[in-house]
Each structure stands twice: as structure tokens, then as C-alpha cells.
Amino acid sequence: DTAVSQTPKYLVTQMGNDKSIKCEQNLGHDTMYWYKQDSKKFLKIMFSYNNKELIINETVPNRFSPKSPDKAHLNLHINSLELGDSAVYFCASSQDPGFMNTIYFGEGSWLTVV
């Protein structure tokens, strides 16, 4: 079974649309993350949740809204998509927010906004 799974893997959508990416982890971890990888392959953290509570919220447009219905799920909803939102979005999880934990990544979701 995949430890961290995210769907969809590929998403092509038009500007202005609203879309969601879902993430689930079956590792029993308390902490989940969303990262964005831009065209230059640079990873940046967007959000981090611990036990369904937001603990890191980077400078991300408020069109991006994470939602954690339970600690095994962290979904990313994006409103009014823009061309610059095209990127690969990675979900990840760790046992807790502590820096000594291994981070487990999902396979990534390739978002293309046209």
C-alpha cells in the first residue's frame, strides 16, 4: 500500500477554475505538509498541519486553502487558478513536526493551468 497517496496525479485546467488535490497517508502520522515544486525544480513549503491544526502557513495566496478533515487527510483547494499556479504539488507526512523525523512524500500532482 502506498504510504502517502495524492490524487489526481495529473491535472490540466483552464484559468479561473477551482480545483482540489487530495492527499491521504496511512502511516498514522500526526503531521502533513503541502509543498510546491516550481519549474526550476525548487521545493517550497506551503502549509503544514499537525493533528488537523495549521502550524505553518507560508506566504501563499489566499486562493490556496488547505483542509484537514482528519489527521490522515490534507486536501488542497485552489480557487481562481492562474497560469503561475502551474507546478508540481507534493503532499508529505511525518510522525510529528519535530525536525528529527523522516518525511514521506507522495508521488506529486502535476498541475497545468492553460
Residues that bind other proteins (CB under 8 A): 40-45, 48, 56, 58, 88, 90, 92, 97-105, 107-108, 110
CB of 79 to other proteins, least distance (A): 25
* Of residues 15 and 43, the one with the C-beta less far from other proteins: 43
- Provide the edge-to-edge strand list for the sheet that holds 73-78: 4-7, 19-25, 73-78, 64-70
* Of residues 45 and 60, the one with the C-beta less far from other proteins: 45
What residues form DSSP beta bridges with 5? Answer: 24
* Of residues 57 and 79, the one with the C-beta less far from other proteins: 57
